[in-house]
Structure 1
Amino acid sequence: MSVIRFTGVNSRDAMRRVRDALGDDALILANRRTEKGFEILAMAEEHAVAAAQAPEALPPAVPSSAKAPAEPTPDPQLERRPLRLASPSEVVDDAPVKHAPRPAGPPTEPLEQDFAALGKRLLGEMQEMRTLLDRPRVAPGEKSLTAQLMQELHNAGFSKPLADSLLTGLPPELADAPTRIAEGREWLMQRLTRRLSHETAHDPFSAGGIVALVGPTGVGKTTTTAKLAARQVMRLGADAVALVSTDSYRIGAHEQLRIYAELLGVSLLTVDSDTPLETLLPRLADKQMVIVDTVGMSQRDARLVDQLESLHATGRPLHLLLLLNAGNQGETLEEVVTTYQRAASAAGHPLRDAMLTKHDEAARLAPVLDVVIRHGLRLHYVSHGQRVPEDLSPVQADTLAQQALAQGTEHADSTWHSGAEAPRLSRLSRQLLGQGRNLATLWQTLRREVPGFSALEAAWELTDLPADRQGDALARLQGRPAEANCLLWARPGPARGQTWAMPALWLTEEGMPCGLPLLQHQQPAGWPERLAWSSDWQPRLHILPSLPDAETRRRLDSDGCAWLSHASPLNRLWHAGARQPIRELAPLATWQDQQQTVLRQQPLIADLHHLSLPQGLSPGESEGSPLAAWYARLTHAESGKIASERYWVASATAPSALTPLLGRLVMLDTMTTLTARADKALAETPLGELDRNWRLAMAAGLAGLACHLTATQASWAMDLRGELLALNGSRRRAGTQAMLDGLILLFLVEDTFVNLGTQWRGGSAHGS
């Protein structure tokens, strides 16, 4: 978007034209008086950077048919003078307009040429200021926070590929603040904790079946088998548990496990390592849990695949549990995990679960945690001594992460291990694996933390259908998410500058968008009809775009529905015996709360005020229901300058704790702009033919999700914002537009992985 010239009979008239075209947050680049009145150069704030990078987009100051004079030579004094951008509130009628000194030149040169040149120079300086602000605020000779955390990971013993992967998602607000090291460490520990955490539903012992402990010689399988058996005996009883030993190589292995079995009162069966496990199944039919102690084999033993194949147990669920020595070097652990996973895959048994042994003997935990994270293993237990069963504990991911980072202070002069000197192809392979794990973590976080995300995920999968079937399938997914309490209705008719109408959004009681929106063109015409149409979903609060008329209010009251509506400053309400504009009632309102919010990428503070209206809109019987008026004064979080004002009216039955919701509604003012951005991006994606209804619903859903992620202050959201910015290759602030771009890219990347996997599997099947 280019710079636009606005003219008016006076400054107030010109400013009105600017606000009508660009909104309250327009950037005023320059202003001056002319023979015809008053002239302003302005542009929309969100397009300032793009315009600065393309100054040729500035419209010509004179008609193209006219012969423009040569550009005047700038005055050196003028070039050195700092420029200040005026805000809309600073341009007032009848105020003297100060012009910069005119450069020397013929008196016949038109003023328009100076005006256009000034606009170009202003845009250039704006871009320079933006560049300076985007640079990390690190003093000369001072390490950035990223470098400090990288050093701590290095000292602890984590590999460089994992360290790079962990710090890629460092939120910009921390990366540019080297003195916030304590917050950085806390963020890093939480990030490690999330990487180590696993869903309890994947516990191999929760559903019963057969658990086989595998791992190299000397890792502690027999002792660990006894410890795990003791836990299961306490949980299920001795009659429900059995032990199996396949270790016929090591002298006394069977006898050692037999002693444990007698102490626990459980059955013990022994078999040679090359005898299939399924031959024992008839004797184990009544056992709910079977724990197998396998023969220890080096990761370099060629018989490893044969041994894992012998564990085949048709008809019983089989889980492999890999034991890892916490005291081993990173290179050894890497080889163990890689070899055992490949052998297990070749034998037809996926290997995803692990536990740590000899935790008490490890000088560093970082190498083993590094391998676990990069290979996506799920840790279940930690063994830390020889006592049975005391020295076995369920995994506490936060404790392990804290211990690993704390050990870094003891090894400040160590060198990178496990991957730093690996061959180039091996390094690239591990980096790709780490990136895949990052994407998987993003999806897990969104599924776990964001209400209604499953509906968006299911809707995205509809792109596999032909376009003429996507709309019908989408309609079956729409409905009220379990966490949604409010229905935010859009203004009827096409959105400004668009051919489509903004859908209605489901919101949580805190005002967070969730789930799939309701397309407006599929809704009945008229508010009473729309309310009746939505009654099946039973929203607790209707948020209307404007004050409801008498018929709509009667319908809402008869249905017992609470409502909240946006209001114009000129809407009149009955107060103190007269109908008065709500703007004039604002000084009478009582301050209630302060909320942080965002509007057009700018952090704002919303001071919320409340005023009771016992007689409602009028003292008449039909319109005299009690109401409440709400007023918000929005100020810039940094400067404290007043940015804007907002007004709402609510029914007396509306929830009393409305302040969090009102703060979010300010942020959602940009939903139409975000939806348009997402709609355009989806139209340009390589998804093939898309149904128009699907594209609009998905665009609005992604825009709402971007607002949700921007507003949420939880630690998981800060982490996720950093990951999305890194995925998008952006150093922008984590605003709604940056989050939207990152989310669309995340969905596309996930879709690409799924399609490639399907094609690969199909090709393999075909080739076989």
Structure 2
Amino acid sequence: MKVKKFLANDNHEAMLKVKTELGPDAVILHQRKVKPKGFFGLFKKPLVEIVAAREEISTNSENKDKNVEASVEDKLKRKIDSKATSINVKENKEDLNKEITEIKGMLQAVLCGINNKQIPNIPSGTNESLTQFYNYLITQEINEELLYKIVDQFNDLIKDNNLGEVDKSIVYSKFDELIRGLVTDQGHMLDSKIIFFVGPTGVGKTTTIAKLAANFSINEGKTVGLISADTYRIAAVEQLKTYCNILNVPMEVIYESSEVNDAIKKLRDKDIILIDTAGRSHKNVQQVQELKHLINEVQEKEIYLVMSCTTNNKDLKEIIKSYEFLEDYKIIFTKLDEATTVGQILNVAYETKKPISYITTGQSVPDDIEILDINKVSSLLLKEAEL
């Protein structure tokens, strides 16, 4: 890893030095204001000091990144020129995902010793297929508290209707009803023109913003402006600039929270302003505080918390807890195509009581994003439940 310290008169000049010396993949490790050395330094304006680093990468890796960027640019250009659906070639993963889910379920059943007696509230003599359905819900990583509620609902159904047998259609219908009671899918309705995107590192916020910007601009005919506050990673700014250039969308870059309102004023003629924030570790209190200050600078806004379907339930709970300072927000789930279970969507909806607005289903910009469809969530959860 190459690490270097940079001194400059202001943030913009410092970032240019970092980019020139270390390239767009540099990561900002530390940033502060320092007084120039010497007696005369006492009377001069403080300098900006940045410590940045970059991993040494091979030529093959660099060429691969360029090829990926060129591919994305080509897809976007074709989308804008034709305003037609892009043709994406995707591998058929259904069989593989099914096998993985089955293996995972079998392993979990073996490790946990799942049987009728250990699953909560299953009455003696319960229909075998219903017991199998409970087992399946556990393999989908639905949390214990929610599982208890689901079990109670089915037990009430059996008791109230005096059912000796519960067929597949009844199970599916009841479960679909339960999902509709848990998941609110009206989160895509915009309540403000200024939208913040927050969330942990590595969930795909920047790519998600590019997809939404393309959708608003191309499909809905809205004027869009972007603001990047993600100056921890120079590559994130460059990535967003590339999308903006292709879409012919203006973009502002800010280095401190106090600059956000000036950036908004420059884009005030736009219908929608999307703000990309730095990925924050939910365990880093200082970073969370910085984000809080940035958001509090803007009075009228909407906030989307972006999380990945591939994150385990324990970490999702910690992430949700770390964003408790937000008075209100909506949720976007990414990487649905990479997830082997989808119970996390139900768990988060149950835990937060917040609407889920969008899900992303791949890396293709601008295509692989869609408004949450409750029917799809239900079918994804039930498709492997062979009752």
Could you say which TM-score interval applies, normalised by the shorter chain? 0.5 to 0.7
Partner amino acid, structure 2, of 1:180: V
Distance 2:163 2:136 in 1: 17
Give the letter for the 1:343 counterpart. F
1:230 is matched with 214
CA contact (8 A) 1:145 1:179 kept: no
Counterpart in 1 of 2:283?
300
Distance 2:129 2:157 in 1: 10
Deviation at 1:237, TM superposition (A): 3.4
1:393 to 352, 370, 379: 370
Q: Distance in 2 between matches of 1:227 and 1:188?
A: 32
Secondary structure of 1:334's counterpart equals helix
Which structure would you say has the larger Rg?
Answer: 1
The one of 237, 259, 265 equivalent to 1:254 is: 237
Name the CA distance, whole Å, in 1 between partners of 2:277 and 2:384: 33
Return the alpha-carbon distance in structure 1 between the equivalents of residues 256 and 293 of structure 2: 10
The one of 143, 148, 168 aligned to 1:159: 143
The match for 1:191 among 174, 178, 182 is 178
**Alpha-carbon distance, 1:314 to partner:** 4.3
Equivalent residue for 1:329? 312
Using the alignment, how far apart are the partners of 2:340 and 2:152 within structure 1? 27
Tell me which amino acid in the other structure corresponds to 1:225: I
Paired AA for residue 305 in structure 2 = L
Q: How does 1:279-290 map to 2 (within 5 A)?
A: 279-290=262-273
Q: 1:402 to 1:263 in 2, by over 3 A?
A: same
Q: 1:164 to 1:260 in 2, by over 3 A?
A: same
Matched residue, 1:272: 255
Higher relative CO (CA 8 A, sep ≥ 6), structure 1 or 2? Answer: 2
Q: Secondary structure of the equivalent of 1:295?
A: coil
1:378-432, Cα deviation, whole Å (9 max, x unpaired) = 11111111111110111111211221233466xx9xxxxxxxxxxxxxxxxxxxx
Q: How does 1:410-425 map to 2 (within 5 A)?
A: none
Aligned length: 262
TM-score, normalised to structure 1, is 0.32
Q: Which one-letter code corresponds to 2:172 in the other structure?
A: R
1:345-400 Cα offsets, whole Å, 9 max, x none, are xxxxx233001101110011112331222221211111111111110111111211
Paired position in structure 1 for 2:349? 372
One-letter amino acid of the counterpart of residue 245, structure 2:
E
Q: Is the 8 A contact 1:328 1:368 kept in 2?
A: no
* Aligned-partner SS, 2:281: coil
Match for 1:181: what amino acid? D
CA distance in 2 between partners of 1:231 and 1:210 (Å): 16
Q: CA deviation at 1:141?
A: 4.8
**In structure 2, what is the Cα distance between the partners aligned to 1:181 and 1:166?**
17
Structure 2 distance, partners of 1:173, 1:391, is 38
Percent identity of paired positions between Structure 1 and Structure 2: 23
**Structure 2 unaligned regions, length at least 5:** 1-120
Per-residue deviation, 1:278: 1.9
Q: Quick one: distance in 2 between partners of 1:380 and 1:372?
A: 11
Q: What SS class does the counterpart of residue 357 from structure 2 fall into?
A: strand
The ranges of structure 1 where at least 4 consecutive aligned residues each deviate by more than 4 angstroms after the TM superposition are: 140-149
In the other structure, the counterpart of 1:454 is none
Q: Does 1:179 align with 2:165?
A: yes
User: After superposition, where does 1:623-662 map in structure 2 within 5 Å?
Assistant: none
| CA distances 1:133-162 after superposition (whole Å, capped 9, x unpaired) | xxx9x7x65458875543332232211101
In 1, Cα distance between the equivalents of 2:151 and 2:125?
Answer: 21
Provide TM-score, normalisation by structure 2: 0.62
Question: What is the 5 A alignment of 1:738-749?
Answer: none
- AA paired with 1:329? N
* Whole-angstrom CA distance in 2 between matches of 1:399 and 1:237: 27
RMSD: 2.6
Q: Name 2:200's counterpart in structure 1.
A: 216
How much has 1:336 moved relative to structure 2? 0.9
Gaps of 5+ in 1: 1-135, 345-349, 413-768
- Residues 144 and 177 of structure 1 are in contact (CA less than 8 Å); yes or no, is this contact kept in structure 2? no
TM-superposed CA distance for 1:277, in Å, is 1.9
Matched letter for residue 269 of structure 2? D
Moved more, 376-385 or 268-277: 268-277
Inter-partner Cα distance in structure 2 for 1:184 and 1:408:
10
- Measure, in 2, the Cα distance between the counterparts of 1:308 and 1:261: 26
